[in-house]
Amino acid sequence: MSPRNALVAIAVVAAALGTTALASAADGGAADASVADAGTFTYDPPGQLVPDSGKGRVDMNVYAPGMRFPIESGPAFANSQVWGHGGNEGTGGQCDKENFSYPWHDNYCETRDWDMPMCPGGHGHQGQDIRAASCKPGVHATVAVADGTITSVGSYSVYLTTADGTRFDYLHMQDVAVKEGQQVKRGDPMGKVSNQFGGSATTVHLHFNIRQNVAGVGSVYVPGYLSLVKSYETLQGLDLPDAAPPPVAPPPAAPPTVQAAPVTTAPEPAPAADDGGCAATGSSPPPASFGAVLALAALAMAFARRQKRRAR
Ligand SMILES: [Zn+2]
C-alpha cells in the first residue's frame, strides 16, 4: 500500500470509528472538569460495558504486559465516549465531571459495525477510549508505550509497531510529533490528546488500539483494557509489591499424631503426606478403641503371666 493510500485508509477507518461519537458542539468550549478529587483508582472488570452499549468480552489476559501507559501523566479515565456524557447516547456535556471519574469502563466490544472476531457478537469498537486529566484539547501529551517504529502517520493518527509485531494505534491527536519510519523509545512524545477527526470533531480523548497476531484467529484488535489497567497502575505508583496479593502459602503440615499410651509394637500412624497438607485429614489416628484393645491385651498377658507364676 502506498503511503498516500495508507493515509486514505486510516482516514476512512477513523471516520467510520467515530460516526456515532461526534461531540455536541455546545460543549466544545466548556471549562475543564476538575479532576483534583479523582480519588482512588477503581475499574469495572473486563467485559463489563456501560449498560446497553453492547456485549463485552470477559478476558483476563494482559495482551501487552509491561507496556507504558499511552498518556504521559495521570489521572486518566478509560470510559465510553458515545455512551458517556456529551456522547450521542449520553446526556450532558463531554466536560462533565462524570467523565473524569473512576471507575474505568471497558469499551473494546462497544457497539460498532466493525468485524471483531474476539467480541461475543462478532462486532465491536476495536480499541479503548481514554480521557486525559481534563477535556481540554492539545494539552495532554501522548507517549510511546514501548520501543518501536512508527509505521503509519495520518493527520491525527499514529501507528507504532514493536519488534514482536504488536501494533499500537493512537487516534484523534493533534500536534502529531512523529514521522513514518521513525524509531521511538518508550516514553517518547507522540502527539497531544485532542478531538481531531479529519474535519469534524469527536470528543476530546485518545482512542487506543492494540493489534496482534492471535493463534487461531489471525491479526486482530485484541482487548487492551487490562494492559491499560496494569500500565496505569504503574504510572500512578499503585503496583508496589505490598499492593500485590500475598502469595498463597501452603498450610502448615499437621504434627505427627501422638499415640496414647500404652506403648506397644502397633505401627505408628503414617505421617501426613508432603502434598501441601491436604492428606492430613486423610491419615487419621487409630480409633481409640484400638488402643483400648491393646491395653486390655497387655493387661491380660500380665495377668496370665502372674497366674503362671502362681501356678509354679
Ligand atoms: Zn474510540
Q: Are both 208 and 66 inside the same structural domain?
A: yes
Q: Are both 311 and 174 inside the same structural domain?
A: no
Residue 268 belongs to domain spanning: 251-312
Centre of ligand 1 from the C-alpha of residue 256, in Å: 62
Place of cell 450521542: 88
Q: What pLDDT score does 36 carry? A: 54
Centre of ligand 1 from the C-alpha of residue 128, in Å: 6
Centre of ligand 1 from the C-alpha of residue 89, in Å: 14
Q: What pLDDT score does 229 carry? A: 98
| Nine cell digits for residue 240 | 508496589
Q: What pLDDT score does 239 carry? A: 84
Given 216, 243, 270, the domain boundary residue is: 243
**CATH code where residue 109 lies:** 2.70.70.10
Q: Are both 206 and 267 inside the same structural domain?
A: no
Q: How many domains does the chain have?
A: 2
Count of other CB atoms within 10 angstroms of residue 65: 10
**Percentage of the chain with pLDDT > 90?**
62
Q: Are both 184 and 200 inside the same structural domain?
A: yes
Q: What pLDDT score does 9 carry? A: 46
Q: Are both 18 and 56 inside the same structural domain?
A: yes
Centre of ligand 1 from the C-alpha of residue 16, in Å: 10
Q: Are both 227 and 279 inside the same structural domain?
A: no
Average pLDDT, the chain: 78
Q: What is the mean pLDDT of residues 170-178?
A: 97
Beta bridge partners of 87: none
Q: Are both 283 and 204 inside the same structural domain?
A: no
Centre of ligand 1 from the C-alpha of residue 110, in Å: 9
Centre of ligand 1 from the C-alpha of residue 67, in Å: 20
| Cα dihedral 187, 191, 195, 197 sign | negative
Centre of ligand 1 from the C-alpha of residue 269, in Å: 66
Q: What pLDDT score does 47 carry? A: 97
pLDDT digits (tens, 9 = 90+) for 1-12: 444 444 444 444
Sort 199 into a burial class: Cβ within 10 Å, 0-12 / 13-18 / 19+.
exposed
Centre of ligand 1 from the C-alpha of residue 108, in Å: 8
Q: Are both 107 and 151 inside the same structural domain?
A: yes
Q: Are both 52 and 73 inside the same structural domain?
A: yes
Centre of ligand 1 from the C-alpha of residue 185, in Å: 25
Centre of ligand 1 from the C-alpha of residue 122, in Å: 17
Residue 312 has pLDDT above 50, yes or no: no
pLDDT digits (tens, 9 = 90+) for 239-261: 876 544 445 555 555 544 444 44
pLDDT digits (tens, 9 = 90+) for 20-73: 344 443 344 444 555 656 789 999 999 999 999 999 999 999 999 999 999 999
Q: Are both 58 and 22 inside the same structural domain?
A: yes
Q: Are both 239 and 279 inside the same structural domain?
A: no
Given 243, 263, 289, the domain boundary residue is: 243
Q: Are both 49 and 111 inside the same structural domain?
A: yes
